[in-house]
Structure 1
Amino acid sequence: MKKTVLFLLVWASLPAWAQEDAWVFFNAKPESATYLSNPLSMLTQRSLDRRTAQGIAVDFLDVPVHQPYIDQVENATGIEVMAKSKWYNAVHVRGAQPQIAALSNLAFVDHIRYANPSLNVGDRVAPAYSNAQRVNKTFDTTVDFDYGESGNQIEMLNGHLLHQEDYTGAGKIIAVMDGGFPGVDTALPFERLRENGLILGGYDYVNRNPDFYTGISHGTLVLSTMGGYQEGELVGTAPDAGYYLYITEDGNNEGPLEESLWVEAAEEADRLGVDIITTSLGYSNFDNADYNHTYEEMDGVTAFISQGVNFAFSRGIVCVVSAGNSGNNDWYYITAPADATHALAVGAVDPEGDYVTFSSHGPSFDGRVKPDVSAQGRFAVVSNVLGDISTANGTSFACPIIAGMVASFWQAVPQMTNAQLVQYVKQSASIYNNPNDDIGYGIPNFADALEEALGTQVFPKQNVVALYPNPVGSDLHVRLPAMAQLTLYNSIGQQVLQQYIADKDVIGLGQLESGVYFYQLESNGFSQRGKLLKK
């Protein structure tokens, strides 16, 4: 009796990861010809239209995984299928290593890749990560919006100028991959989305449940930076875009399955015709240290989720990804999938446009510029699940702020491919010609990007004033309907500059110290005031 009890105690003390996670890749899709001859059997018309607009053909990647293969794997002894991917033509399985290995005897199995690299024949064994810690990947007519405190995070990008031109994301669809969206169905800042039918759907992949208004609140905060609307307090960067809300992040566990769930959700987003995926998640260390990524794996293609981003991009989708919040800890670098070759990775700056130290550093292991661009991630204005407006810190918020602006920008130039769009965003950034490992190419200027993309001057429109860039370095560009007087005040109200300017002018501000200034423009009874950040 004592022996039995001892055995039970030993068995119960075994780690939860005594079972292994692995991906089983198949060698065929027997029904490919049938699906490819009838694309609407696997993709919606909107998805096909997005492909057509960008010259992307339907191909083998679009064909679903052969269900009988999944069934046979699932019926194998001790094997649980956790997720599937048509892009990879694979399933994510969990089971004992010998039982997983036995799957290679199935005729349709091409190869098996274990989440633990030491089990993969020919793979480098990842060194144990010393002092490993879980990364905090979730924290730290003319429109005239009253942005309130949220104005800075939009005006920093000159996104308000696109809004003034009625480019507010209308007609574009964003998929949000996160850990939960409680309160989005009830809180006031999301009422505008609900009333206009802009919450298009979603799914909880973690629990395999259609209820996506659950889980951790991080996704709610993320969504608010794009789709939130509360006059005078919070206006998101894409308040008129449509949104799908997908839970792929397990708030209670950290494992490679989350990467597979992300890919599965991305495939569904592609099927539905989503234009943009925003992901404020990042993966480096897991509960089971054997599964940890290494910096060497941040090469754009190794991590399952990073290659998933590349697959999504190949379908015509723009993938905006937070760089990570590891700048102050041992990991230090960007996390997957920010390393993906085709991810638009976003770092964080403060309200003055300066790098904040928690933002993960680049470059990618293979030497590419990362993050790609940066936006406000310190004191970002958000809504919580109760609808209270507050601030939060993290690249988690810089990322969707950019994603919303990408939607508004793409609305203005719908003929563009995703690759062209991303390049215009990068080229508009503040240090494009001299990028660094902290903020990448810098802070994008979406007004400049739009003018460059259209090949003509868009701003100003009648009664629209444009001051850019903001934050400004040495030269402030001003465009307005007529000659005006510009007055600048410092943060304590002292006048530091006053001069008359033409309708298009460049004002030298190199003599001013860095900080917050307030401007006033006056012309023929017209007056406008605002805030200007000097770098």
Structure 2
Amino acid sequence: MKKRLLLVMLVCSHFTLLAQEDAWVYLKDKATTIANISSLTDILTAKAIARKNAHNVPIDDRDIPVNPAYISQLKSATGITVMAKSKWFNAVHVRGSETDIKNLPSSFPFIERIDFANKSLNLNKPVKQKTPTKTESTLETFNYGTAANQVEMIHANQLHLSNYTGAGMTVAVMDSGFPGVNTLSAFERLRTVGQVMGTYDFVGKDEDVYTNTTSSHGTLVLSTMAGYIENQYVGTAPDASYYLFVTEDDDSENPVEESYWVEAAERADSLGVDVINTSLGYTTFDNENYNHTTADMDGNTTFITKGANIAFEKGMLLVNSAGNDGNKPWQIVGAPADAAGVFTVGAVTAAGNYATFSSIGSAFQSVHKPDVVAQGEGSYVILENGAIETRSGTSFSAPIMAGGMVCLWQALPNKTNAEIMQLVRQSASIFSYPTYALGYGIPNLQLALNLTLGVAGDDFNTSVKVFPNPVKEHLYFKMPSNETFLKVMVFDMLGKQVLHHSVDAVTNQLDVSSLSKGLYLLKIHSKNNAATFKIIKQ
């Protein structure tokens, strides 16, 4: 018995020594700098350069790829497998034994530091990244069929009526597999006009995102934006162009998937992508030593969240599902949905009520999460066999919302990603009193457009007069003939209420002299109506 026990102990010790760990290897430099690049088109597409210039996003050394010579040397190291790379972080994700990984710096002087996914193996805390500085088609009337409620809930159908259907916009969908997208009639509209711009499987390292997968999750997600079956189903951005990227490994849950995601985001940036949709989130892993904690969901701790913040800084609009942990012990929004630079979408029912599975926000996040909600319970999707059925999850509320925001950005091409995000928040149903369950509520994308264009949305909007605008000291109100009393609230662009007043036919003015110069949102409520205006304080 003692000999058998000793043998078991030796075998276990042997396996422990050979246990594979994941780590990020951060490098000291790259092969060159932006100043030494002969042509920016060597590292970015013309569309990427144009998008950055249009939104005043600087092109910097982070846009330069990781030094390929360094990657080759790391691949040659004993016991080391290179899993992914990140130009933004100038880092390489490796897998190997703890000993082999820790031996890397002695062999390769270009290594700056190593950060193990198993945090207990890190002798020093990783250096925190800086928080990012916030910085034509044929007009068509769609029969949305089964998708009508989820499209109309956020008023994306009204944008479509104005010919904003996503044409000219580029979306990267980062998910698991996309089986059927290359064959189903539901995606024929995409294929016939070349709206699938490219594909790549960052897990399998090839361009096949259709067959090398056990999951059709990406197909279902894409259908809510790009699906089209005449008189039966229309997604929220049917005329946008799409890149399909696999970053999720369905066979395991490992931090390397965060690295795949960042690598895909970097490629999206290089390709000139406008919007990234992700219906993925990371909290815990198969190896519990790699687990994140709820305290890590602070918007700037996990690798994927820091990558998302850089992607936002690069000018892209990132829309991410909040997660489905609302009725589970974890409960709160996961990574990268915790990032300040990510527009996080929770879920409601078809009737607009909170879906109990939808992950909620918390005090850990630096900004209010989720941002908004859309239909995620009983959402209609197109399956890999072409059938239309309902599925539930924030995996579907997020792309429904993302497609709508694609159309809004098409309508407002001069707006930045941050401005589009804020307009959608301001249009939402409970913007004045957000909650951790619903965020700012259900958006009205037509109202978001009207806020910018100064267009009145209904008779109340047109009959209420607010002047002068811009204003220095006093705002005056001309009330509708059928109203005797109005409540007036003023919010800054961060959503904070700065003034509250009541007006009637006699006291029809508001003193705004105490406000700082800038742009404000004015909300006016009567007993049965409401209107929203932008005002400029001089």
Report 1:134-149 matches (<5 A). 142-149=139-146
Measured after TM superposition, the shift of residue 368 of structure 1 is 2.4
Partner of 2:102: 101
Partner residue, 1:194: 191
- Is residue 112 of structure 1 aligned with residue 114 of structure 2? yes
Give how far 1:508 is off: 7.4
Does the alignment pair 1:265 with 2:264? Answer: yes
Q: What does 1:241-280 align with in structure 2 at a 5 Å threshold?
A: 241-280=240-279
Output the aligned Cα RMSD: 2.4
Q: Is the 8 A contact 2:17 2:97 kept in 1?
A: no
- Tell me which of 174, 179, 186 is aligned to 1:182: 179
- How big is the shift at 1:77? 1.0
Deviations 1:102-150 (A, max 9, x none): 12222211111000111112449xxxxxxxxxxxxxxxx6421001121
In the TM superposition, residue 55 of structure 1 has moved relative to its aligned partner by 0.6
Preserved contact between residue 36 and residue 59 of structure 1 (Cα < 8 Å) = no
**Contact 2:174–2:244 (8 Å) recurs in 1:** yes
| Counterpart residue type for residue 104 of structure 2 | L
The Cα shift of 1:28 comes to: 0.9
- Over 3 Å counting, the alpha-carbon distance change for 1:507 and 1:197 in structure 2 is farther
Q: Does 1:83 align with 2:80?
A: no
Tell me by how many angstroms 1:29 deviates: 1.4
Change (3 A) 1:386 1:39: same
Match of 2:414 in 1: 415
Establish whether residue 54 from structure 1 lines up as the match of residue 55 from structure 2: yes
Quick one: distance in 2 between partners of 1:364 and 1:13?
Answer: 44
Aligned AA for 1:424?
L
Change (3 A) 1:197 1:88: same
Structure 1: gaps spanning 5 or more residues: 125-140, 461-505, 511-535
Could you tell me which residue of structure 2 aligns to residue 479 of structure 1? Answer: none
State the match for 1:428 in structure 2: 427
Residue 430 of structure 1 and its aligned partner are, at CA, apart by 0.9
**Which region of structure 1 is more displaced relative to structure 2, 275-284 or 359-368?**
359-368
1:160 aligns with 2:161: no
Task: For residue 275 of structure 1, report the CA deviation from its aligned partner.
Answer: 0.3
1:290 is displaced (CA, Å) by 0.4
Q: How far did 1:448 drift? A: 0.4
Cα gap change, 1:191 to 1:364, in 2 (>3 Å): farther
- Is 2:335 aligned against 1:333? no
Amino acid at match of 1:39: L
Q: Deviations over 1:271-328 (max 9, x none)?
A: 1110000000001010000001101110111111111111111111000000000011
SS of aligned partner of 2:252? coil
**Distance in 2, Cα, partners of 1:185 & 1:381:** 20
Distance 1:448 1:48 in 2: 31
1:121 corresponds to: 123
Q: Per-residue deviation at 1:234?
A: 1.2
Distance 1:364 1:266, change over 3 A: farther
Rate the CA distance shift 1:26–1:363 in 2: closer, same or farther, 3 A: same
1:179-328 equivalence runs, <5 A:
179-214=176-211, 215=213, 216-328=215-327
Partner deviation per Cα, 1:330-359 (whole Å, 9 max, x = no partner): 111111110012000000000111111100
Give the match for residue 532 of structure 1. Answer: none
Report the CA distance shift for 1:12/1:231 in structure 2 as closer, same or farther (over 3 A): farther
Length, aligned pairs only: 448
CA change 1:8–1:185 in 2 (3 A) is farther
Distance in 2 between the 1:259 and 1:427 partners?
Answer: 31
Q: Quote the offset at 1:420 in angstroms.
A: 1.0
In the TM superposition, what whole-angstrom CA distance separates every residue of 1:403-457 from its partner, at most 9, and x where no partner exists? 1011100110111111111111111111111111001111111000001122334
Q: Which position in structure 1 is the counterpart of 2:27? A: 26
Can you list the C-alpha shifts for 1:66-91, whole angstroms capped at 9, x where unaligned? 11111121211111110000000000
Partners of 2:242 and 2:527 lie apart in 1 by 42
Sequence identity percentage:
50
* Alpha-carbon offset, residue 11 of structure 1: 5.9
Letter in 2 for 1:80: T
Residue 390 and residue 509 in structure 1: after superposition, are their counterparts in 2 closer, same or farther (change >3 A)?
Answer: farther
Instruction: Report the equivalent of 1:469.
Output: none
The CA deviation at 1:196 is 1.8
Which amino acid is 2:60 matched to? D
Question: 1:156 is matched by which residue type in structure 2?
Answer: M
**TM-score w.r.t. length of structure 1:** 0.80
CA deviation after TM superposition for structure 1 residue 151, in Å: 0.6
The answer to whether the 8 Å contact 2:269/2:314 transfers is: yes
Corresponding residue of 1:445: 444
Distance 1:507 1:384 in 2: 46
SS of the aligned residue for 1:222 comes to helix
Cα distance in 2 between the residues matched to 1:410 and 1:75: 46
The residue number in structure 2 matching 1:405 is 404
Aligned AA (1:389): I
Instruction: Show the counterpart of 2:471.
Output: none
| Contact 2:23 2:117 survives alignment (8 Å) | yes
Tell me, yes or no, if the aligned pair for 1:36 and 1:58 is still in contact at 8 Å. Answer: no
Name 1:521's counterpart in structure 2: none
2:446 is paired with a residue whose SS is helix
TM-score, L = length of structure 2: 0.79
What amino acid sits opposite 2:116 in the alignment? Y
- 1:464-514 CA-partner distances (Å, limit 9, x unpaired): xxxxxxxxxxxxxxxxxxxxxxxxxxxxxxxxxxxxxxxxxx99779xxxx
Q: 1:78 to 1:152 in 2, by over 3 A?
A: same
Would you say the 8 A contact 2:145–2:233 is kept in 1?
Answer: yes
Q: Compared with structure 1, are the counterparts of its residues 439 and 123 closer, same or farther at alpha carbon in structure 2 (3 Å cutoff)?
A: same
> Which region of structure 1 is more displaced relative to structure 2, 228-237 or 245-254?
228-237
AA aligned to 2:151 is: I
- 2:472 is aligned to none
SS in 2 for 1:149: coil
Query: 1:520 maps to what in 2?
Result: none
Q: Which 5+ residue runs of structure 2 have no aligned equivalent?
A: 127-137, 460-524, 530-538
Partner of 1:483: none
Contact 1:35/1:42 (<8 A) preserved: no
